[in-house]
Structure 1
Amino acid sequence: MADITAKYLGDLRVECVHQQSGTVLVTDAPKDNNGKGEAFCPTDLCATALAACAMTIIGIYGRNHGVDVTGTTIEISKTMSANPRRIGKIEIIFNMPDREFSEKEKTM
């Protein structure tokens, strides 16, 4: 059985279902690529997944080493390139909570 299923809804929208949880996510093409821009576009999800993955790894480290990173926020910027259209750059800024982190914790 697939982990995720996706169905094209028409009008450049895709409904994705996470089979284990039943969570539904709809994507839409961005306005600058023939869409309405009313939901995450697939490349937004790619950039978001990268940041969420990195934050999950930080969270695992924190949990395993007694470092509370709850409240960390992430700012994600994605720049598209052309010919062919693709992600050209992803910038991720982690805003850590206002806590005293040791130099070792900051390095990790």
Structure 2
Amino acid sequence: MTEITCTYTGDGETALVHGPTGTTLKTDLPPDNGGKGRCFSPTDLLAAAFASCTLTIMGKMAAARGDDFTGAHLSIQKIMAANPRRVGEFVLDITFPAHFTQEQKKFYLSAVNACPVHQTLSKDVKLTVRVL
């Protein structure tokens, strides 16, 4: 179990502390929801968690197989929906190392579904995955 504490610091911002390490980060309301967008929004953190979870799992898979995963890159877009306001879609653009074959790429794409963040999302959240 990991504890994260969150304190409202005013003006739409919060401060978060990762209990085990003391690492901190801040959030702010996004401009499209009345905030100033000075840092990650809470839903930005969800997108970041999904991206880092997916790429971390791919890296772990590569280490187990002895594949060089250096240079892999994932970009994620978060698209909001309304009524209720929520994340409606994630678009993942994945760039694999140049030496990867199509078979390797297909194998590593299984990490998207294996990611616990993805498994936690509502089935109503649309997912688009593109390999660049």
Q: TM-score, normalised by structure 1?
A: 0.91
Could you list the structure 1 runs, at least 4 aligned residues long, displaced by more than 3 angstroms after superposition: none
- Code of the residue aligned with 2:105 in structure 1: it is K
Matched, 1:93 2:93: yes
Q: Could you say which residue in structure 2 is the equivalent of 1:47?
A: 47
What is the identity, as a one-letter code, of the residue corresponding to 1:30?
P
The answer to whether the 8 A contact 2:96-2:105 is kept is: no
By how many angstroms is 1:103 displaced?
4.5
Deviation track 1:27-58 (CA, whole Å, cap 9, x = no partner) reads 00001101000100000110111111111110
| Alpha-carbon separation, structure 1, partners of 2:101 and 2:27 | 40
5+ residue gaps, structure 1, are: none
The aligned counterpart of 2:76 is 76
Q: CA deviation at 1:102?
A: 4.0
Bigger RCO of structures 1 and 2 (CA < 8 A, at least 6 apart): 2
> Are residue 105 (structure 1) and residue 94 (structure 2) matched?
no
How many residues in Structure 1 have an aligned counterpart in Structure 2?
107
Query: What is the match of residue 123 of structure 2?
Result: none
TM-score normalised by length of structure 2: 0.75
Alignment RMSD: 1.5
